[in-house]
Structure 1
Amino acid sequence: MPPPLADARDVALGERAYVDGPIVMPVAILEDSRCPVDFQCVWAGQVRVKMVWIRGNGEQMPFEATLGERTPIADGSILFESVRPEKRAGEPIRREDYRFSLRFDGGL
């Protein structure tokens, strides 16, 4: 029996979450170039995450999501709303500490 699905507002890497319809799992950090909160930067940076959409038939469809942007999926789009923890200078974020907030807006 698979583990229960995570809350889409607090998803860890490798955790499956029900996102208002689709089941999605973040699997890898592709980029975390955010400006540390204790610095002033010219560019805020971005976060890109490799995710997998787990379809009803069990098929896994990989896609990439960028913080603050919509990614077309199923009959709508996934919005990658936020990432935690905040980035701090000189303090690397461990893979297991990342948490993501996702939202699905259906097209039908």
Structure 2
Amino acid sequence: MRYGIALILPMAALAGCAGYAGDAPIVDGGPVAAEGSAVALGQPVAAGNVVLTPMAVIEDSRCAMGTQCVWAGRAVVTTRIDGAGWRETVDMVAGESTAVRDYGIILAHVAPERTAGGDIAAGDYRFLFMVE
């Protein structure tokens, strides 16, 4: 029985590891959308040499379509960024560049647009990222 446990423990330790292949970004499994794809919350997307995963919308105060606003508002999305052997989580503001390590990452677009009197369900959001 001692030998069975000795074989299982190393295999169990490896099973919980995130995928990491040398210079490739860390990814927790599941498909990674192609660069330039609009993705939903929790869906990873390739962008340059990193993988970006929008995790949560923490603010969406954008002005609704067809209305006049004093302030345009903003969308802020918590995003996980995976690079070769590293991972960071940052709050990104739509339309602004965020410096992470050696990358300038832009949350380029948040869809759908807000409408007057309507909230957007978390599952309906789509995000487009760019790397400078």
Task: Classify the TM-score, shorter chain.
Answer: 0.7 to 0.9
Name 1:36's counterpart in structure 2: 64
Distance in 1, Cα, partners of 2:107 & 2:88? 17
Bigger helix fraction: 2
The amino acid across from 1:19 in the alignment is: A
Deviation per residue, 1:58-93 (Å, 9 max, x gap): x43111110110001231210111110010011211
Name 1:25's counterpart in structure 2: 53
- The structure whose RCO (Cα within 8 Å, separation 6+) is larger is 1
The amino acid across from 1:97 in the alignment is: D
Tell me, which stretches of 5 or more residues in structure 1 are unaligned? none
TM-score normalised by length of structure 2: 0.73
Bigger strand fraction: 1
The number of aligned residues is 104
- Specify the SS of the correspondent of 1:6: coil
Name 1:73's counterpart in structure 2: 100
Identity rate of aligned residues, in percent? 34
CA shift for structure 1 position 16: 0.7
Tell me, which stretches of 5 or more residues in structure 2 are unaligned? 1-18, 20-28
- CA RMSD for the aligned pairs? 1.5
